[in-house]
Amino acid sequence: MADRTNPSSHTQQRPIYNSTTVPRSNNTTTNHPLSSLLRQLLQSQSPNHSGQLFGFLAFFISGGILLLLTGITVTASVLGFIAFLPLIIITSPIWIPLFLIVTGFLSLAGSIFATGAVVSWLYRYFKGMHPLGSDQVDYARSRIHDTAAHVKDYAGGYFHGTLKDAAPGA
């Protein structure tokens, strides 16, 4: 007979030999960090944790809804593609040239727009209207000018023999 004064003596279970199941203990504490975090959030009664709990619940519910909607969207897209695949294959002599014409038009329009934007910026820059980024261009131009002047002074002295050779005997 089990000792009734020791509560742990009647909660222990002995393993059953030749069995694939492992008996579970009545102790429900686990060491998983997520379960301990959720347990702390659920057991706390302070008002600041109730906002966190509501936030977690809203996050999980909205995440589940979005995941469900994503699955429905992907499923409908795949089924629609399968249903319309014969029509797509039959009309492919129309779609391929149409695709090439549309992509060609869009790339040409994009190139013309980019060229117009560059020409407009250059016009405003040379007219002195200070378009966006002109101060960076001026800074880069002054740095290039200073570097070129330094190289010119160094090279001029080197070619005219005013600088001493670093290794005179070489």
- Rounded to 5°, angle at Cα 140 from 134 and 143: 145
The beta strands (E) that lie in 10-82 are given as none
pTM for the structure as a whole: 0.39
The pLDDT averaged over each successive group of 10 residues in the chain (170 residues) is: 50 56 53 72 62 86 96 97 93 92 97 97 93 93 92 74 56
Taking a C-beta distance cutoff of 8 angstroms, is the pair 53, 41 a contact?
A: yes
Amino acid identity of residue 160, one-letter, is H
Task: Write the pLDDT tens digit of every residue in 62-105.
Answer: 999 999 999 999 999 999 999 999 998 999 899 889 999 999 99
* Amino acid residing at 22: V
| Arithmetic mean of pLDDT over the chain | 80
Residue reference for tokens 């005219």 = 160
